[in-house]
Every structure is written in structure tokens, then in C-alpha cells.
């Protein structure tokens, strides 16, 4: 199985801050990497697919980069509605695996 490791596991930030979350795969997954946002009591929501493509309807302050084993999700200017938990997920192979999540909290 391909293991996905996110860092940090949590962070505190203020509105307007630039936030970066990293995800590392245990082996090369090309660009088969997606990012999801989850708010309490809700299902995860797709933000970024194939490492760097913005899902329809997602604000442009979200961006993704990387390929191979190292990936990054960036929020350019954190907004109040962005406080949530973020997950990466690989779709290179079965079983699909998720990172453990990064909780973004209000500073």
C-alpha cells in the first residue's frame, strides 16, 4: 500500500495568512494526488484534483503543486470559511489511501 503522510497535523493561522500544507507519498504517484476539505459533520469536499487542478466552484485562493512523491496545498489568503481539516489522497493504485489530515484552526 502507498502511505500518505501530511504535515503539519494541525496549525493555527489568522485570517489573511498564507497557509501551506504538505503531503508526501511513500512511492512515486505521478500526479495522482487530490486534496479535500472537510468541515465538522460534513462529507469531504474535493478542492484540487490531479495535484494542481482547481475543482469547479472552488475559490482561486486554493492551489496545489507537486508531482512524484511531494505535494503542496496552498491557501493564499486564509478566509474565515477555510477553517477546516484538509486531506490528501492518492489515486495511483488500489487501495486508495488518504493522509491523516491537517486541521487548520483560528489563531
The answer to whether 89 contacts another protein (rule: CB under 8 A) is yes
Among positive and negative, which fits the CA dihedral 21, 26, 28, 33?
negative
Binding segment toward another protein, per CB under 8 A, in 15-23, 59-67, 69-77, 85-93: 85-93
User: Cβ distance 48 to 94 under 8 Å?
Assistant: no
Q: Tell me whether strands 102-106 and 10-13 are parallel, antiparallel or unpaired.
A: parallel
Closest to another protein by CB, 14 or 94: 94
Q: CA dihedral defined by 49, 7, 11, 99, rounded to 10 degrees?
A: 50
| Least distance from another protein to the Cβ atom of residue 28, Å | 16
| Least distance from another protein to the Cβ atom of residue 94, Å | 5
Cα 13 to its chain centre, rounded Å, is: 16
The answer to whether 62 contacts another protein (rule: CB under 8 A) is no
With cell 503539519, the residue in question is 8
Here's the x/- map for another protein, 15-54, by CB under 8 A: it reads as: -----------------x-x-x-----xxxxx--xx----
The answer to whether 68 contacts another protein (rule: CB under 8 A) is no
User: Cβ distance 87 to 99 under 8 Å?
Assistant: yes
User: Residues in the site for another protein, rule: CB under 8 A?
Assistant: 32, 34, 36, 42-46, 49-50, 55, 87, 89, 91, 94-98, 100-101
Amino acid at each position: 500500500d502507498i502511505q500518505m503522510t501530511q504535515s503539519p497535523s494541525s496549525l493555527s493561522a489568522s485570517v489573511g495568512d498564507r497557509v501551506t500544507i504538505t503531503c508526501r507519498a511513500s512511492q512515486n504517484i505521478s500526479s495522482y494526488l487530490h486534496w479535500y476539505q472537510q468541515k465538522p459533520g460534513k462529507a469531504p469536499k474535493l478542492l484540487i484534483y490531479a495535484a494542481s487542478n482547481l475543482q469547479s466552484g472552488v475559490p482561486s485562493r486554493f492551489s496545489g503543486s507537486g508531482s512524484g512523491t511531494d505535494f503542496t496545498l496552498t491557501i493564499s489568503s486564509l478566509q474565515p470559511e477555510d477553517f477546516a481539516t484538509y486531506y490528501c489522497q492518492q489515486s495511483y493504485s488500489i487501495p486508495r489511501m488518504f493522509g491523516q489530515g491537517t486541521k487548520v484552526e483560528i489563531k
